[in-house]
Amino acid sequence: MLSKLMNKKKSFFTPRGHKFRWSRQAALLSLILMILGIWVATPAQAAEPRGPVAILLSDSEKAYDQQVAIFSEEIGLPVQVFNLHGSLTHDPGLKEKLFAARPALIFALGAKAAYAAKIWTKDRQDIPVLFAMVLNWKRYKLLQGSSNIAGIVAEISPGAQFINMTLFSPSIRRIGIIYSPRSEAILNQAKESAALLGLELVAEPIERSGDFQRVFKRLSSQVDAFWVLNDPVVYTLENLDWLENRCLKDKLLCVGQSQNLAKMGLALTINPDVLQIGAQAAAMARNILLHGQKPGVIGAMEPIGTQLFVNIRTAERIDLSIPPEALNIATSIIR
């Protein structure tokens, strides 16, 4: 329901758009956060922290531009951007430069930035860290051994994924999944969610990426849909290229967690609304800096807002009849 509410206001999510339009969207997000029990700070409620908020980027990809722009606008505090440029060794002095700025908080975008922020603050637990846009974040053990780290997970929960899958295909009863040992935590969560929804999860483990195609061929005849995990062993370019054609051949609903997969040819993808991550992170940062909320208490939060991308051409080719109410809530229909 939150996703529908936010999607109705999609026109306000323009990071370089008009100030007034974005402020209306920020007000709506603040209301939702308060409903969820998250106290949203205002500058008058506490003194401004010393030092800027440091934004640490994993690399120079444009994928972070919107999050940086929205976060910088909504935080209402000075920010300073640092960039790893894809490697912890690209600029050996970057850590010293960041700490020389005496950051009040570090907002880390991407896996490399999140990992760097964790190890850099190992002996500086007084500096809060927020991470976002880290796929399969649990495998990096970002919260383990650190009380100063919180974040926004990069995936929609399995339960929400399954609910949306059954909305687009009500006949689904058995969902296939291929995973490696790195994804056992999300697999256990998925099994619990499937059981609550009256669904059966048919899971097959693999150790090597090369085993994916063989296991999928055996699995596809046993399930009504296949869920693609953001697992580094499964999620390879070779496997995904092959999967696009195989799902068509088997006339199987294959569901991913990135809009790029829908553009490649998967019938449906369900992923967080990345434009809302910046505003959500800003609200969390203000609560930490202005209200003294502890990152260790916050932990890893679910993203607010969901995007649904439907490849209607693929749906037609696999004979998937999508209910009109499902199409009505789709973020984008790819033809």
Number of C-beta neighbours around residue 142 at 10 A: 22
29 confidence band (pLDDT: 50, 70, 90): low
pLDDT-derived band at 305 (thresholds 50, 70, 90) equals confident
Q: What is the mean pLDDT of residues 124-132?
A: 97
Query: How many other C-beta atoms are found inside a 10 Å radius of the C-beta of residue 59?
Result: 16
pLDDT of the residue at 30:
52
- Give the confidence band of 62 by pLDDT, cuts at 50, 70, 90: confident
Give the model's confidence band at 37: pLDDT under 50 very low, under 70 low, under 90 confident, else very high.
very low
Q: Where are the beta strands (DSSP E) in 124-180?
A: 129-132, 149-152, 174-179
The string of pLDDT tens digits covering residues 96-119 is 999 999 999 999 999 999 999 999
Q: How far is CA 57 from CA 132, 144, 192, 256, in A?
A: 10, 21, 34, 25
Q: CA 270: distance to chain centroid?
A: 10
Give the domains, in start order, of the chain with CATH numbers: 2-154+273-305 (3.40.50.2300), 158-271+308-334 (3.40.50.2300)
pLDDT digits (tens, 9 = 90+) for 275-304: 899 999 999 999 999 999 999 999 999 999
- pLDDT tens per residue, range 229-255: 999 999 999 999 999 999 999 999 999
